Amino acid sequence: MFFPISGVHINPFLLGILGFVIGVLAGFFGVGGSFLSGPSLFALGMPYNFVVGTDLIHIVGKSIVAARQHRTLGNIDLKLAGVMVIGTIVGSETGVQAIEGLKRSGEVNLVVGLTAIIIFTAISLFAGWESWQALRQSRRAGANPSGSRRDVLAFDKVAKAFQGFAWAPRIRLDQSGIAAISIWSIILVSYVGGFFSGFLGGGAGYIRMPAMVYLLGVPTHVAVGTDLFEIIISAGYGSIRHAMNGNVDILVALVMHTGAAVGAQLGARLTQYFSGPWIRLAFAPLPLLGGILIAVGLTTGHHH
């Protein structure tokens, strides 16, 4: 079927199925799923500037459904999300401007594609290694990782060091179990996430969610829910900016979202059956898959 806004031919049922798979991942891992949906749209022939904007607006719709599920489960830290929005919006605007600069230079597909491959591969390797270490730690401690929701982090010391930054103001995050943390640590993490959201598309939960867990020390289940809530606001802002710049095909986004809405509900329900390290270990190979899809898109010659 022809989508006139972006000028691409894509089977709408394929988009619906893609949306469903991404929705399950979003609900389960608390990430927007852009590390797969973006590369998939790119591999289907959509130009990267449309991939970025379209993916972002579809994530807004999907995150609302998943975040409401997580709110019911008590997995959202509203105070943390409120602070993160500041850094994310500023970072997102920086990323949008970077895309506009690359559009003018005509190198947007190559530069964004290569950046995404490097970032996704690094995240996969790190998340796989860390969660494996955490599972080994919990086994040594005699815990049953598959049955327990108790969170074990291989990077516990890093999180404690990050929480130790004394720059005022410092806030207490009851929902996340953090006694005191500098507001600037939170803004820094969210700024980096926001930049990659604007630059690579999607909500950048693939960066923000691990950063919340490993750097800020937020429990995985709360990081998943809070990230989704924060994505609604930050991706909403990014979507409007990208739509104004002509980077959004709303018809493609609407079709994808019909699948994502139902998938997100399933994913959120599944989180109650797994502990934090298992969720992170299952997440590990997915960004790498996204990197491979982008490499396919760059080498098959769809994009000029």
Partner 1 sequence: MKESAQKVARHFLIELLMYAVLVSIYFALVLRFLGSWLDWLFRDHRDYYAAVSILIMLGQAVGLERVLALFSHIARGGKK
- Residue 24 in the binding site for partner 1 (CB under 8 A): no
Q: How far is the CB of 266 from partner 1 (least distance, A)?
A: 6
Q: What is the DSSP letter of 274?
A: S
By CB under 8 A, name the one of 157, 174, 272, 304 that touches partner 1: 272
**Angstrom distance (rounded) from CA 264 to CA 228:** 11
Please give the full DSSP string across 122-172, using - where no structure is assigned.
HHHHHHHHHHHHHHHHHHHTT--TTT------TTHHHHHHHHT--PSPEEE
By CB under 8 A, name the one of 177, 246, 285, 300 that touches partner 1: 246
**Angstrom distance (rounded) from CA 201 to CA 69:** 24
Interface segment toward partner 1; rule CB under 8 A; list 56-64, 94-102, 150-158, 180-188: 56-64
Number of residues engaging partner 1 in binding (CB under 8 A): 35
Interface segment toward partner 1; rule CB under 8 A; list 31-39, 199-207, 253-261, 295-303: 253-261
By CB under 8 A, name the one of 26, 43, 51, 65 that touches partner 1: 65
Contact 274, 148 (CB under 8 A): no
> 111-140: which residues touch partner 1 (CB under 8 A)?
none
**Angstrom distance (rounded) from CA 187 to CA 28:** 25
By CB under 8 A, name the one of 114, 233, 262, 296 that touches partner 1: 262
- Residue 73 in the binding site for partner 1 (CB under 8 A): no
Rounded to 10 deg, the angle between the 183-200 and 78-105 helix axes is 40
Query: To 5 degrees, how large is the angle CA 69–CA 131–CA 224?
Result: 20
- The SS3 call for residue 264 is helix
By CB under 8 A, name the one of 38, 62, 92, 96 that touches partner 1: 62
By CB under 8 A, name the one of 96, 123, 248, 294 that touches partner 1: 248
| Radius of gyration of the chain measured on its C-alpha atoms | 18
Q: Which residues bind partner 1 (CB under 8 A)?
A: 1, 4-5, 12, 16, 57-58, 60-62, 64-65, 68, 236, 239-240, 243-244, 246, 248, 250-251, 253-255, 257-259, 261-262, 265-266, 269, 272-273
